[in-house]
Structure 1
């Protein structure tokens, strides 16, 4: 994803934010209580001007020291009560909102695990990372502060205006004069700020992607001396983000100028008019003090409107980005089971596949694949680069969904199985081994029984793990880059065989091994392959010879099936592919 994906068209921030309700609902009681406490605290602050009126028109005018001290005590108690109530509000929201954030983050992570591989192929990891971190932080801040105080400040302003109108309606109208231009300015601000806020959040995702890729690819960057070009790319994105943030700042400065200036002018006008009325005896000094104190008490609720609207728009954009991922359809759950239970092995029935984002009129990557791997048989899959070998193997565990046709395991359609069941039957080793920042044992077992670890390491000739500083408990670096390519590949192979799967799919699993290690692994693999049904992508004759039969994949179709020797004699394309491999083998 990039900033071009940003939804810049008009959208309702309120409608977007309402999508958070299912997450907020479990903690609604504490949030409503916190809002009520905040309203009570804010209204408590509005009682202070009334006490001042009583003091000025009463004890101060009558020169009554006892009355002044009593009023001061009331003011102290009101101030203490207001502070206590606001502290209580903060305590009420802290725990439930951290729970909401954790639930949303867990929900996002779980949903990402259920989304198809095609989704992850389209989306940059940095965009997903920013949605699970920065965006959720913005949502927590919105629920903790703007959501409550948009209500609290609205109630405070309404109550304060009523108090001022009751005290003197002419001065109240003077204070209300800026209301219309302020409201119009806020509406214009919302429209403009929402698109800029969304752009900024998308650009944060792009920047996160660059940082992540630079860290993971640091060896490439250093090896090719590309640190300056990477730094330039990072600086360009940073400069773009800085420009967008400055646009946000300019918009916020403009709305704050209006929101702060116009009410201040109105208060100044009310002060002048009120002073004239006091001088003429039409208004008591206490009433003027109370009126102006109330007006000043409303300065914060009014001044904060700009910040609250900005934070709300940021939260609306974050909500939009969060649900862009959550609205993606997860892998379908099968509901119909076939009745086939015979051991018929792995079969491809007229299989066709085209990537979801491919043009409708483009030729399929795989076309009319009919292939039968008998129970207990190993079949090598051979073909030129780009012929579709890796794509075909990815269809078996449903990393991609078929466009047409069927794949069956022992007579049962794989789409009739749950993915959990299917992937418990099928194990894979990919050409590019992926390891996690965990221990060697955790990377290999992936939930399997501990007692299988030594067997799997032995089959994959990965006994080097026992010689690591903490043995199989040694933690390896991110992506396993602290290990050699051959070591990573052997651990990936050990992970594939650790669970004794009924079906094994190996995508060129020995490409990074030296000749002697490859021979040792092949010897151990023969025992494993004798007890399983396997499909092996192969590029070398030595790997092909592990299999009972060979299938030749050419331009997305199976063009020949037979033993290695049969195809060498009868198929020119296969002989050409193997002759290149044999020359490579001899050269080594």
Structure 2
């Protein structure tokens, strides 16, 4: 079984290299051409050295004088051979290097383009660190053997030519070569088979270490706030130790085989000298022949290693290829229709019609069985993924956001509010039911029409490592500085942006690290408003903003010239009170809906939730006042401990 697996790895690795050759035939030809020139000139150099020894050195020793003409001719011949060898080396390295880097660049672009095509539901099931590893180290590992590949192909040509030259010189010495060269190849095959599982394991651990590191970095605020630094360090250290041990195992095997691969050509040279000395005494070969063959074995030691380099890297290449192909062949695209909504400056209406939704488990984790109270709607049977998904997050959700109105989604943590926001922007599609925008189901809309009509401001703000202007406009056509300032004013962000050293040209740093939490939220809100959406979805998008500033933002939105409907995930009572209608969710179901005052009067769960949050807000306000913390959306670049606690809350 192990031999068959190793053989499969070898064959698949050669197929991967063949794929690279088919994609870059010109560069491969240049590399192989240079390698063949180098190999043939290497053989020629051995016979030139033999001729110089036999025709110049030995006669000079016997006669006691040096023939200047012959010595000059020998030096010129060596120089000419060396110059042509240099040209061959240049061609080989140029072709191999360009081929390797072009393939890596091409497949990195393919992987990242595929990431953009795949829906959010696919991304939610794959750790971000693994995706980064796919686009970086896995692509690099896939095409790493391309660098020595032309050298190895040229070496094969060189070996065939060398054996032919040996038979032309002396058949006995040729038999020595026939014993050494296959032994070298067999040793390389054994090396590749033993290396395969070790390389696969190391490549997998690289992705896992990358994934854990990304999770820790991305969740740095939560880790520090909850005091989990030691636990995260231990988690990372455990995987890092496993990766270290895997790489040490690779190194030990390489340390065992590398000396053997170095020793075989040297043993071949020794055997040639012993056999050649006997043949020389018999008069079967000349001194020049013996020197040429011995020198040939010496100079072949390094090129033959190129075959070993390729074979040794094939397991790693196959492991990387499998992980890259997992992305490139991933299914689950979110198809769009051909319906265009009118670009009229009127608010859009949104309807959720008996919507069910279930997330799929992460890759490698089984789906949890649904309990009695979490059973999937019978209408979902037959829907792709319905029977393999996690228990439903939303169950039979129906509500309407009338054109020009503001609807607040309220509910405890885990009620499904963020999922509804994602469905409204069509980041995911429902398992069953319909989401309708202006009487058109979302899957029937074109991607451009949907993006122009709906803007989502997510719960966690994201800022690019770029200028304020670029973060607001995203280089969208027609979004001038005037439009950017207008959006910033609506988001109550124009004040702090104007106070920055370079205004719109200020670079905000990676993920907006130079801004406070409230400033980042207002910046991302301005980004959404700059496109003047007809439906604005706010997923708790002002949680880090001072309540007074939040009220000003919502008031500005209601009174602005932007014709938009608003669906807002809200917790604060003041925010909820500004909505025209409230939809109260609990455990993925719509429990009640109506105005804020109506729900306070008739829905105990809603009353308890809103009152509890209001009390928590008051307590945080008292804490901030007692510690001297300023406005939560103010100019403190870091946000301070109170800011961290508020964001996590």
TM-score of the superposed pair, with normalisation by structure 2? 0.82
Checking the alignment, whether the CA contact within 8 Å between 2:416 and 2:588 is kept in structure 1 is: yes
Alignment of 1:264-275 (within 5 A): 264-275=266-277
Checking the alignment, whether the CA contact within 8 Å between 2:56 and 2:71 is kept in structure 1 is: yes
Query: Which consecutive unaligned segments of at least 5 residues does structure 2 have?
Result: 61-65, 362-366, 369-386, 622-649
1:497 Cα deviation (Å)?
1.6
1:366 Cα deviation (Å)?
0.8
Relative distance call for 1:417 and 1:11 in structure 2 (3 A) is: farther
Residue in structure 2 matched with residue 413 of structure 1 by the alignment: 441
How far does the alpha carbon of each residue in 1:293-322 deviate from its partner, in whole angstroms, 9 at most, with x for none?
Answer: 222222112234333322343333333332
Checking the alignment, whether the CA contact within 8 Å between 1:437 and 1:475 is kept in structure 2 is: yes
Partner of 1:161: helix, strand, or coil?
helix
Relative distance call for 1:80 and 1:314 in structure 2 (3 A) is: same
1:345 Cα deviation (Å)?
1.6
Relative distance call for 1:94 and 1:352 in structure 2 (3 A) is: same
Relative distance call for 1:423 and 1:542 in structure 2 (3 A) is: same
Q: Answer yes or no: is 1:456 the counterpart of 2:487.
A: yes
Question: Which among 298, 301, 304 is matched to residue 303 of structure 2?
Answer: 301
Residue in structure 1 matched with residue 636 of structure 2 by the alignment: none
Residue in structure 2 matched with residue 185 of structure 1 by the alignment: 187
Question: Which among 75, 85, 88 is matched to residue 88 of structure 2?
Answer: 85
How far does the alpha carbon of each residue in 1:392-442 deviate from its partner, in whole angstroms, 9 at most, with x for none?
Answer: 111122212221121111111111223343122110111221222112222
Question: Which among 574, 578, 585 is matched to residue 542 of structure 1?
Answer: 574
Alignment coverage as a number of residue pairs: 580
CA distance in 2, matches of 1:75, 1:492: 69
Question: Which among 426, 447, 470 is matched to residue 442 of structure 1?
Answer: 470
Residue in structure 2 matched with residue 195 of structure 1 by the alignment: 197
Q: Answer yes or no: is 1:495 the counterpart of 2:533.
A: no
Residue in structure 2 matched with residue 351 of structure 1 by the alignment: 355
1:213 Cα deviation (Å)?
4.5
Relative distance call for 1:242 and 1:578 in structure 2 (3 A) is: closer
Residue in structure 2 matched with residue 37 of structure 1 by the alignment: 34
CA distance in 2, matches of 1:554, 1:225: 31
Greater Cα shift, 51-60 or 257-266: 51-60
Checking the alignment, whether the CA contact within 8 Å between 1:338 and 1:412 is kept in structure 2 is: no
Question: Which among 291, 294, 300 is matched to residue 293 of structure 2?
Answer: 291
CA distance in 2, matches of 1:196, 1:481: 40
Checking the alignment, whether the CA contact within 8 Å between 1:440 and 1:476 is kept in structure 2 is: yes
CA distance in 1, matches of 2:212, 2:613: 38
Q: Answer yes or no: is 1:508 the counterpart of 2:540.
A: yes
Question: Which among 100, 103, 117 is matched to residue 100 of structure 1?
Answer: 103
Residue in structure 2 matched with residue 168 of structure 1 by the alignment: 170
Residue in structure 2 matched with residue 241 of structure 1 by the alignment: 243
CA distance in 2, matches of 1:389, 1:583: 22
TM-score of the superposed pair, with normalisation by structure 1? 0.90
Checking the alignment, whether the CA contact within 8 Å between 1:380 and 1:550 is kept in structure 2 is: yes
Q: Answer yes or no: is 1:48 the counterpart of 2:48.
A: no
Partner of 1:431: helix, strand, or coil?
coil
Residue in structure 2 matched with residue 3 of structure 1 by the alignment: none
CA distance in 2, matches of 1:70, 1:472: 73
Question: Which among 515, 518, 538 is matched to residue 486 of structure 1?
Answer: 518
The alignment's C-alpha RMSD in Å is 3.0
CA distance in 2, matches of 1:97, 1:186: 23
Relative distance call for 1:44 and 1:9 in structure 2 (3 A) is: closer
Residue in structure 2 matched with residue 404 of structure 1 by the alignment: 432
Residue in structure 2 matched with residue 520 of structure 1 by the alignment: 552
Relative distance call for 1:540 and 1:62 in structure 2 (3 A) is: closer
1:38 Cα deviation (Å)?
1.5
Relative distance call for 1:539 and 1:287 in structure 2 (3 A) is: same
Question: Which among 141, 145, 148 is matched to residue 146 of structure 1?
Answer: 148
Residue in structure 2 matched with residue 282 of structure 1 by the alignment: 284
Residue in structure 2 matched with residue 393 of structure 1 by the alignment: 421
Relative distance call for 1:159 and 1:330 in structure 2 (3 A) is: farther
Residue in structure 1 matched with residue 316 of structure 2 by the alignment: 314
Checking the alignment, whether the CA contact within 8 Å between 2:348 and 2:535 is kept in structure 1 is: no
Relative distance call for 1:221 and 1:508 in structure 2 (3 A) is: closer
Query: Which consecutive unaligned segments of at least 5 residues does structure 1 have?
Result: 1-7
Question: Which among 328, 331, 334 is matched to residue 332 of structure 1?
Answer: 334
CA distance in 1, matches of 2:341, 2:218: 47
Q: Answer yes or no: is 1:73 the counterpart of 2:105.
A: no
How far does the alpha carbon of each residue in 1:237-293 deviate from its partner, in whole angstroms, 9 at most, with x for none?
Answer: 333222111111122223223323334323312211110121232322222112212
Q: Answer yes or no: is 1:569 the counterpart of 2:601.
A: yes
CA distance in 1, matches of 2:282, 2:467: 85
